[in-house]
Amino acid sequence: MQRALVIDPGKCTGCKQCELACSYEKEGVFNPAKSRIRVFDFHQNARFVPYTCTQCDEAWCQQACPTNAITTDAFGVKNVNDSLCVGCKVCTIACPFGTVNYNATTGKVIKCDMCGGDPACAKACPTDAIVYTDVEQAGYDKMAAWAKRTDAGAQAN
């Protein structure tokens, strides 16, 4: 069963607990700059949007890597093999979403690897703006929410 992080920006309060949990899980420090998930603050709209690697099927980062340091596991997660990564940053340029980042301390790239199937960001999110769920269920939940909105609109007319 493939699982994915499902992000609902409407539930995000901008607390950044996800960033802190990620940086602690992956780097051993509470430092949002070392997190693999970012919360974008659109203060002019009073909105917060958490964002991380979506584990693309196309995986342009993986295709661009000259050393084949980015591999796909059985669950579709794209992982960076530090022993093969030379820190050239080609994958950071190839990623159209900006979710592959360079870690100047290690000289390697970092990206979300779903914490090996137990994402710290989802566990830390107090509002369920980030949930780790079955991919099939995520699609069903989105369709159900859309149906509810369109049904409410039809009843209003």
The yes-or-no answer to whether 1-52+122-157 and 53-111 have a common fold is yes
- Three-class SS of the chain: CCEEEEECHHHCCCCCHHHHHHHHHHHCCCCHHHCCCEEEEECCCCEEEEECCCCCCCCHHHHHCCCCCEEECCCCCEEECCCCCCCCCHHHHHCCCCCCEEECCCCEEECCCHHHHCCHHHHHCCCCCEEEEEHHHHHHHHHHHHHHHHHHHHHHC
So where are the chain's domains? 1-52+122-157, 53-111
Residue 156 confidence (pLDDT) above 60:
no
pLDDT in tens, 50-103: 999 999 989 999 999 999 999 999 889 999 999 999 999 999 999 999 999 999
User: What fold, for 53-111?
Assistant: Alpha-Beta Plaits (3.30.70)
Domain formed by 1-52+122-157, architecture? 2-Layer Sandwich (3.30)
Task: Please tell me the pTM assigned to this model.
Answer: 0.82
